[in-house]
Amino acid sequence: MMSSTALMTTDLPLPNRRQGKVRDLYDIELPDGSPGVLIVATDRISAFDVVMSNGVPGKGVLLTQISCFWFEHFAHRVTHHLVSTDPALIPGLSPAHQSMLTGRSMLCRKLDVVPIECVARGYLAGSGWKDYQSTGSVCGVALPPGLRNGDELPEPIFTPATKAVTGHDENIPFAEAAARVGEGLMTRLRDLTLQLYGLARTFAAERGILLADTKFEFGLAPGADKPVLVDEIFTPDSSRFWPADSWRPGAEQPSFDKQYVRNYLEQLVAAGKWDKTAPGPALPDEVIKSTLARYQEAHDRLTGVPI
C-alpha cells in the first residue's frame, strides 16, 4: 500500500549523498566488495526541468518497479547496473531506514556515466517536434516534409543529447556525440538504443501504450569498453507513454506521464503566476492524484501486476 505522505528527500547515514531532480544517490559497497551506488527514487516530480515544491506520494516506488521490471526483461540482451533491491544488504541502516527504502531503491554498480543522453524517437514530439519545425530534421536526421506533431516516423531515429549538469539538455548530431565520446562507443550505444526501443515499443503496444520516445544512459566500468545500462529505463519519467486509443496526431498527445502537471503549470504561466524557473509551485491535490493514477496505470499495464 502506498503511503499518503510524499518522500521529498532522504538523509541516510551513508557517504557522498548527491541529489538529482528525482533521485538521491549514495556511495555503498556491494556484497562482492566492489563500488556501488544506492539509488533512491523519491516522490519529487519535475516539469520543465524544475522540481515542484510538493511530491507525488508513491511515485518513486512505481518508477523503481517499472525500471526493475525492464532491467530483468532485457537482462539477456544488455548488461545493466542493478545488483539488488534489498536494502538489508547495506550495513548500518536502521529498520526504519530499510522500510523507507523498500520498493524505491536499487543497489547498483557504480560506473562512469557516458555524458550523452541516448534518445530513440518513434514519433514526433517535444524537442523533436520543435527541431523539425525549424529545420525539417532532428539532430541532423532529415525527415519527410509535412509531418504533424505526434506523427509516427517512417522508422525510429537516434537523437543524442548532451547531459547538461545544470539547465536543459541539448540535442546534438550523431557526429558531435561521436566526437565527444568516440565513434566506436557511440555507434554501439546507438545500435543498442534503437534495438531496445524497438523491442519495448512492440511490448508496450500490445498493452495499449504507444512508446513515443525514450532516453537511456549508459555507463562504463573503469578500463572496460562494454557499455552497461544505468539510471532508469522505460519509465514515464524517461519516456513518453501515450494511451494508444487516444492517439490523434496533429496536436499535443495526452500522456501517461506528467500531462496533468504540465497543463496545470502552463495555466499558471499564462496567468503570469509562474515563469518556469525554480522554485516550482505546489501542485493542487487534484493534480497530484491524477498524476499518481497515471503512473499507476502505466505500471499496471506494463508489468501486468498491480501494486
Ligand X SMILES: Nc1ncnc2c1ncn2[C@@H]1O[C@H](COP(=O)(O)OP(=O)(O)O)[C@@H](O)[C@H]1O
- Does 109 bind ligand X (CB under 6 A)? Our answer is yes
Closer residue to ligand X (CB): 25 or 118: 25
Least CB distance to ligand X at residue 37 (A): 5
Closer residue to ligand X (CB): 29 or 152: 29
Least CB distance to ligand X at residue 111 (A): 4
Binding part of the chain for ligand X, among 108-116, 239-247, 253-261, 289-297 by CB under 6 A, reads 108-116
Termini Cα distance of the chain: 7
**8-state DSSP, 266:** H
Closer residue to ligand X (CB): 111 or 147: 111
Tell me the site size for ligand X, rule CB under 6 A.
16
- Does 110 bind ligand X (CB under 6 A)? Our answer is yes
Quick check: helix, strand or coil at residue 172? coil
Site string for ligand X, 2-21 (x = CB under 6 A): ------------------xx
C-alpha cell at 245: 486509443
Nearest to 287, CA basis, from 52, 93, 8: 52
The values of phi and psi at residue 21, to 5°, are: -65, -40
- Does 111 bind ligand X (CB under 6 A)? Our answer is yes
What is the footprint of ligand X within residues 24-83 (CB under 6 A)?
25, 37, 81
Count the neighbouring beta carbons within 10 Å of the beta carbon of residue 148: 12
- Does 23 bind ligand X (CB under 6 A)? Our answer is yes
Least CB distance to ligand X at residue 230 (A): 4
Rounded Cα gap, residues 163 and 117, in angstroms: 6
C-alpha cell at 224: 572496460
Closer residue to ligand X (CB): 45 or 125: 45
Residues contacting 205, CB < 8 A, separation 6+ = 211, 244
Q: If you write DSSP's letter for every residue of 16-69 in order, what string do you get?
A: --EE-SSEEEEEEE-TTSSEEEEEEE-S--EETTEE-SS--TTHHHHHHHHHHH
Least CB distance to ligand X at residue 229 (A): 9
Nearest to 198, CA basis, from 209, 188, 211, 185: 211
Least CB distance to ligand X at residue 172 (A): 17
C-alpha cell at 74: 532485457
Site string for ligand X, 156-195 (x = CB under 6 A): ----------------------------------------
- Does 219 bind ligand X (CB under 6 A)? Our answer is yes
Rounded Cα gap, residues 177 and 214, in angstroms: 17
Closer residue to ligand X (CB): 63 or 210: 63
Per CB under 6 A, residues contacting ligand X are: 20-23, 25, 37, 81, 108-111, 113, 217, 219, 230-231
